[in-house]
Amino acid sequence: MKTTRNLVAILLVAFASLFAINAGGQVSSFPFPIGTPQIVESNAVSKVNRIIIWAWYYNNTNNDYMPLMTSVAYITTSLTNKAQMDTVIATELTKIVNTLISSTNQSIVKDKGIECGIACCTAANGNMAFPSFSTPENIFIMPITVDGKYQAPDLSSFSTTMSGDIPYYIPNMKRARLVVGLKGNPEPKWIYDGDLDPLKEILKSDGFMYLPQWAITDSSTASGQYWLKLSIITKTTFQIFDGDGNLLSKTPIIVKYVRSGNTLTVYVLGGDSGQGFRLQQSMDNKTWANGDQPLSFVSPLAHLSTNVVSGEYTFSMTNNVASYRVVLINGTPY
C-alpha cells in the first residue's frame, strides 16, 4: 500500500532555510495589493522567499516511495513574476531527476521516477506562512529514454497553482476584519472576523493574515463582482481598504446616550468595527475634559445581515457633570 504524504504537515515541521530568495516580507499599504488576479499574483510572487521541494524515489525493497532529497538552492535575484518562479522550480526538478538517473543505488526503480511536493512560501518575523503557490497534489515526474539512456523530461510547461488563501504580512498586526458583498448590493454577504466567529479568523497565530483568493482577485471597481472592506489594526494604525486596495475614510460613529442617576449608557449604533472613542465631560458646557474612563473600542459584534456595528457601554458619572460627549480617537487598543 502506497504511503500518502501530506505536504502541509511536512511543511509545518520543515526547517525554513532550504531554498532562500532575496525578497521582502512586507506588503505595501498604498494601495493594498488586492483587486484582480494579476495584482494579487504579482504581489504574492514578490513576497515568496522560500521555495521547498521534497522528492521521493520508488524503493524496490519496501515497494513504496522513500525520501530521496530536499532541494537546497540560493537565489540572489528577487522573483518578478510567476513564470520566472515556475522556471526556477522546473530547473530544480530537472536537477533532482538527473540525481535519480545518476544514482547507483540498486534499490531505486528509475522507471517509476520521482514523487515531488512543492511549496512556495513567505517567511517573516521568524515564522513561515502556508504556501502562496504549490501543486494541488504531489506530482510524479518520469525520466524518458533516448537511445537507450535515461534523461530528464522537458519541464518547460511546469506551473504551480495559487493557493485558496493568500498570506499577507504586516508588522505588528493585531486585528483584521474582512467584509465582502455582491456588487450592487450594499448588504454584506460574508464577514471574516475572529472576534465575531473564531472559525472566521483571518489573522492567524503565525502573524500572517490570510485572505480568500476568490474575493480579493475579483473585487476591483472596474471589473470585479464583489465589493469588500478590509480593516487592519496594528499597534499604531487603523486602516480600512476597499476592493481596489485604496484607503477608505472611517465611517462616523453614531451614538445614543441614556443617563439614569450616575450611570451613563452609550449605545453605538453605527461606525466601523475597531474604531475607538473616549468619553468627555464638562461642568459648564464650555470646558471639556477626558473622563477617568479608559478608551473604548467599537465592538465587532454586528448583525450578520448588515454592515452596522453595535455596542453598549456603561460609564459611572459624578453628580456635578452637566454634559458629556463622545469623541473619536485616532489610536488603537494596543
CA separation for the pair 315, 279 (Å, rounded): 9
pLDDT at residue number 219: 98
DSSP 8-state symbol, 118: E
Residue 1 lies in a domain: no
First-to-final CA distance of the chain: 53
Clarify whether residues 28 and 77 are in a common domain: yes
pLDDT at 303: 46
* Same domain membership, residue 178 and residue 33: no
12 and 92 co-located in one domain: yes
**Is 189 a domain residue?**
yes
Does residue 19 fall inside a structural domain?
Answer: yes
pLDDT tens string for the chain (334 positions)?
344 444 433 333 333 223 332 333 333 445 999 999 999 999 999 999 889 999 999 999 888 998 887 764 545 467 899 999 999 999 999 999 999 999 999 999 999 999 999 999 998 888 999 999 999 889 999 999 999 899 999 999 999 999 999 999 999 999 999 999 999 998 889 999 888 888 999 999 999 999 999 999 999 999 999 999 999 999 888 899 999 999 998 888 888 888 888 788 888 887 888 888 888 888 888 888 887 666 777 765 544 445 556 677 888 776 666 788 888 777 777 7
- E-assigned strand segments in 43-135: 50-59, 64-70, 73-75, 114-121, 123-124, 127-128, 133-134
Indicate whether 23 and 128 sit together in one domain: yes
Tell me which of 241, 271, 297 is where a domain ends: 241
Burial call 227-251: b when 16+ CB within 10 Å, e when fewer? bbbbbbbbeeebbbbbbbbeeeebb
Residue closest to 118 by CA, chosen among 137, 105, 95: 137
Give bridge partners of residue 232 from the DSSP assignment: 176, 239
User: Taking a C-beta distance cutoff of 8 angstroms, is the pair 100, 94 a contact?
Assistant: no
Q: Which of 163, 182, 210 is the last residue of a domain?
A: 163
Contact residues for 221 (Cβ-Cβ < 8 A; gap 6+): 242, 243, 244
What is the dihedral sign for C-alpha 217, 22, 74, 204? negative
User: What is the residue whose three cell numbers read 504531489?
Assistant: 138
- Residue 276 amino acid letter: G
288 and 312, same domain (yes or no) = yes
Q: Do the domain assignments include residue 46?
A: yes
**Cis bond upstream, residue 198 (ω within 30):** no
CB under 8 Å, gap of 24 or more: what pairs does 255-258 form?
255/326, 257/324
Residue 201 domain-assigned?
yes
Q: Is-contact 88 139, C-beta < 8 A?
A: no
The answer on 142 and 38 residing in a single domain is yes
DSSP 296-327: EE----B-TTSS-B-EEEEEE--TT--EEEEE
Is residue 223 located within the same domain as residue 276?
Answer: no
Domain count, the chain: 3
pLDDT of residue 311: 75
Half-sphere exposure (CA, 13 Å, Cβ side) for 87? 7
For residues 16 and 141, membership in a common domain is answered with yes
**Of 108, 137, 163, which residue is a domain's last?**
163
Q: Which domain holds residue 303?
A: 254-329
In a domain, 334, yes or no: no
- d(C-alpha 60, C-alpha 70), whole Å: 21
What global pTM score does this model have? 0.82
How far apart are alpha carbons 76 and 70 in whole angstroms?
Answer: 20
Same domain, 293 and 200: no
- Whole-number pLDDT of residue 216: 98
